[in-house]
Structure 1
Amino acid sequence: MKNRFIILFVLIILSACNHKTKSRAYQQPTLTDYTIGEKWVWKYKGVTTEGEVRSNGTDTREIVDFKGNLGITIGKDTIPVTEIVKPEESKTPKYDWPLKVGKKWKYENNWTSQDGTTGKQSQNAEVLSYQEETVEAGTFMAYTIKYTGKTTNSRGYSADETEIWLYAPDVKNFIKLTQNQGDFHYVEELIEYSK
């Protein structure tokens, strides 16, 4: 009898663990998933290993009426939501839809900063889990995606980096980003989400 109870208990625990990490394949959000007034607020902080704070603040985005269509505020700009939901036509995307635990891909990004510096990110990505994650804004089911690789720029900068993104389908966005790039550590966390 005692052995049956132990076996039953182990099966229940394993079933619960399995339930937390099982996930369906999650597709990219579409235009109809967004509503006017939907709002995200993140706090962010970036610090060097020597303790120098290089960035510290908040970032707010909100869905608004933009010339009769849905727009999203990004800083002082507003862009059509259609821009953020159109499928990325890249063989090396940031998110390789549909997201699913165990999925792996290559992410590459070429960029130019406001001062004209050009750079490149080249990373290997993998979806590690899908489970409840808690941030200041609340608790959400989220994919944990790990990116590892290198960032370089035209000024001779080169650093290995690791990024952990927690992407929550219900929020249609990331709820936390942790980045280590050379001697720089950056964390961005969702502190408010409302519809």
Structure 2
Amino acid sequence: MKSQIVIFFTLVMLSACNGPTKSGVTQQPTLTDYKVGEKWVWKFKGVTTEGEIRSEGNDTREIINVNGELSITIGHDTIAVADMVKPDKSETPKYDWPLEVGKKWKYEQGWTSQDGTTGKTSQDVEVLSFKEETVEAGTFMAYTIQYKGRITNSRGYEAASEEVWLYAPTVKNFIKLTQKQDDFLYLEELIEYSKP
């Protein structure tokens, strides 16, 4: 289950973003927001309502220099930051920039997990707030973004899905994720953020 969740959101949730302006609006990410040596560490845990732990551990990502190009390590993968911050031309994007409280949109995406399973995510999205939020890594101003809908896959899985992402512009990433899918709860929280 963790591999499916990570594949859904890894690229889009790692996008940097410029901080909110005085009007409370956060603009589209840019390449210059990242620096070599920036590092994020999250702890994650996925558990069923019956208490079965299906995934647990830490996830570390770091900005590195690969032949003069900023890249980010994500597990065993390395992705160019320039690719991550390209504007999403989709009519149903993960983020509908600029972010601001009260904004609503539809998010839809087809995906393939690491084991080859294909699926689709379809959710209604709303930015609920922008306020101080505290996680293990510290206290940050963060957007609360709620995603509600359904997830299906090629193995016959179908579930109602509700997610709440806390996205902090100052760390250019999410600081907490709470995801519920029928009888499964997945939590991810930033425990460390460092920059050069």
| Deviation for aligned residue 1:79 | 1.2
Amino acid at match of 2:152: T
Which moved further from structure 2: 47-56 or 28-37? 28-37
2 CA distance for matches of 1:67 and 1:125? Answer: 38
Moved over 3 A (4+): none
1 CA distance for matches of 2:28 and 2:191? 23
The match for 1:12 is none
Q: Secondary structure at the match of 2:95?
A: coil
Q: Partners of 1:162 and 1:27 in 2: how far apart?
A: 25
CA distance in 2 between counterparts of 1:139 and 1:80 reads 29
* 1:115-170 CA distance string (max 9 Å, x none): 32210010000000000000000000000000000001111111001000000000
Specify the SS of the correspondent of 2:171. coil
State the partner residue of 1:153. 153
TM-score (norm: length of structure 2) = 0.87
Alignment of 1:9-158 (within 5 A): 24-158=24-158
Alignment TM-score, normalising by the size of structure 1: 0.87
CA distance in 1, matches of 2:113, 2:167: 25
Task: Find the residue that maps to 1:170 and give its secondary structure.
Answer: helix
Seq. identity, %? 74
1:150, 1:33 → 2: CA distance? 33
Aligned partner letter, 2:161: E
Compute the RMSD of aligned alpha carbons: 1.0
Whichever residue aligns with residue 86 of structure 2, its letter is K
Task: Tell me the matched-pair count.
Answer: 174
Query: Shift of the alpha carbon at 1:23?
Result: 5.2
Which consecutive unaligned segments of at least 5 residues does structure 2 have? 1-21
Check whether the contact 1:126–1:146 (CA below 8 A) recurs between aligned residues: yes
